Amino acid sequence: MKIKILTLFPNMFTEFKGESIIKRAIDKGVCSIEIIDIRQYSHLKHKNVDDTPCGGGAGMVLKVDIVTKAIRENANSNSYIAMMTPQGRQYNQEIAIDLSKKEELILLCGHYEGFDERIRAFVDDEISIGDYVLTGGELASMVVADSVIRLLGDAIRKESYEDDSFSTGLLEYPQYTRPIDFEGMKVPEVLLNGNHKEINYFRKKESLRKTLKRRPDLLNKYSFSEEEIKILNEVKKEENF
């Protein structure tokens, strides 16, 4: 997969590309990440990329002619272009999975007061990572790229993300490792007995319990099996719901 990030601050991505799973994915050829400086497409003397808003107001607005040129010179028929903006659709694991199937992903980072509205005509998607405002789209693009890359090929083992929170529609079950007893807090005995049927039941039950307590809204969209309905009813009884 090819990922291109259009940004005004390319140096922000140096460590992002050079560490951990992202670096290993690049080294394995699972993906490539190209960081593209939007300023190089500016025709202005001082490489300005923004201007004051028409009608007045605070801040500066990214220019449609310059940003569009950057998009056009880096996109092709296989590109999927996503604008990072707080006005976009709320990002989630389902979108990450969908984006991981694209051949080439272009992430457009905004800055300053925002984009000239006409730029929206040249993108395929608008993505928000939350209901808050960042100084720019760079951090948001890293979040999207990271979540997509970990789903690709051999970036990580498949079983490492299959049971992630939100991958199944529920929050992930609690995880433990050694020491078995830490200051009186013990790993649940069921996880130590080697009975995989009991372990799977425990994990499903605790996944449902955690979701019920922390994100009950997810249960409204979840498609339950008969067994899961029984387990959830057990959990509700135990938790006095």
Instruction: Say whether 53 is catalytic.
Output: no
**Phi, psi (5° rounding) for residue 35?**
-100, 120
| Contacts for 68 with CB less than 8 Å, ≥ 6 apart | 119, 122
User: Tokens 């107001």 belong to which residue?
Assistant: 57
Catalytically annotated residue among 125, 163, 164, 228:
164
Are 104 and 4 in contact, with CB atoms under 8 Å apart? yes
Instruction: Say whether 226 is catalytic.
Output: no
∠ CA 56-68-14, rounded to 5°: 100
Catalytically annotated residue among 104, 116, 150, 206:
150
Catalytically annotated residue among 24, 34, 51, 86:
86
Longest dimension (CA), the chain: 71
Instruction: Say whether 183 is catalytic.
Output: no
Q: Which two tokens stand for residue 115?
A: 């984009």
Catalytically annotated residue among 34, 113, 146, 163:
113
Q: At what angle do helices 226-239 and 196-214 cross, to 10 degrees?
A: 60
HEC string of 29-92 equals: CCCEEEEEEHHHHCCCCCCCCEECCCCCCCCCEECHHHHHHHHHCCCCCCEEEEEEEEEEEECC
How many CB atoms are closer than 10 A to CB 159?
7
Instruction: Say whether 98 is catalytic.
Output: no
∠ CA 95-64-120, rounded to 5°: 30
Which residues are part of the catalytic machinery? 86, 113, 150, 164
